[in-house]
A = this chain, B = another copy of it.
Amino acid sequence: MTDATVAQNLKVACSNCNLRELCLPVGFSPDDIDRLDEIVKNRRRVKQGDSLFNDGDPFTSLYAIRTGFFKTSVTTDDGREQVTGFQMAGEIVGLDGIVNEQHSCHAVALEDAEVCVMPFANVESLSREFPVLQRNVHKIMSREIVRENEVMMLLGNMRSEERIAAFLLNLVQRLHTRGFSKTELVLRMSREEIGSYLGMKIETVSRTFSKFSDLGIIEIKQRFVHIKDADALKKICNPQVC
């Protein structure tokens, strides 16, 4: 269950990156694939708890996560934090910075992480050259918009049990795509961060986990979760099926 399987020794090159199919387009011609390596300037390590970027930082680059786990969040003037997402290997952060040429959210590593730094100027110039890359960039941004639409549904329409169920299913599904278990996961974030993301207080998060545990739907011990009855979780998300 560690990410050690993903973290391997690789030079800074997309062409032989094991995450390429997650963060870059498929169908690149063999002749052009070397050009793709220009997109990444360098790698950057971020220690657990450190920021990749902060609200207000000038925007220069997008970041592709190689290893580790991030949260992004926005903050109000009066200090309230809203976690806007959790990102794992193969996902892209930093898109918020494009519009005003400065970031409007924070990105913090929830475990030691490594990212590929992609200067946005490189992304744009290569995109003009390679339509398949251009399309990929557009898809990544569109995917983020669609994801946020789903979160709005979660926050606006669902009750706390539905939110937690949807959250767990989403996490485990994404981990499964990356070769991890379909039924077991380790939460990289605190209850507080889960609550912030899902619009609930830490106590409500805890109570909901306990309830699912009592019902035999999950086993939970600290940050380790075993999903014993995924169908039950799905039913909680889609109550009309009952």
**Segment at the B interface, from A4-12, A17-25, A124-132, A202-210:** A124-132
- Cross-chain contact A76 with B157 (CB below 8 angstroms): yes
CB-contacts of A113-157 with B (<8 A): 124, 127-129, 131, 134-135, 137-139, 141-146, 148-153, 155-157
A237 shortest CB reach to chain B, Å: 8
Interface residues, chain A, CB within 8 Å of chain B? 74, 76-82, 84, 95-100, 104-105, 124, 127-129, 131, 134-135, 137-139, 141-146, 148-153, 155-157, 196-199, 238-241
Bound together, the chains give a CA A95 to CA B146 distance in angstroms of: 9
Residues of B within 8 A of A145 (CB): 95-96, 141, 144-145, 148
Q: Which applies to chain A's interface (DSSP): helix, strand, loop or mixed? A: helix
Identical subunits present? 2
Bound: A141/B141 CA distance, A: 7
Q: Given known contacts A96-B145, A98-B138, A124-B134, what 16 new A-B pairs fall within 8 Å (CB)?
A: A74-B150, A76-B157, A78-B241, A80-B153, A81-B157, A82-B152, A82-B156, A84-B149, A98-B139, A104-B146, A127-B134, A145-B148, A148-B148, A156-B198, A157-B196, A157-B199
| Given known A-B contacts A76-B153, A134-B124, A157-B199, A96 and B239 have beta carbons under 8 A apart | no
Q: Quick check: A156 and B98 within 8 Å, CB to CB?
A: no
* Min CB gap A163→B, angstroms: 10
- Give the nearest-CB partner of A104 in chain B: B146
Q: CA separation between A148 and B128, bound complex, in Å?
A: 27
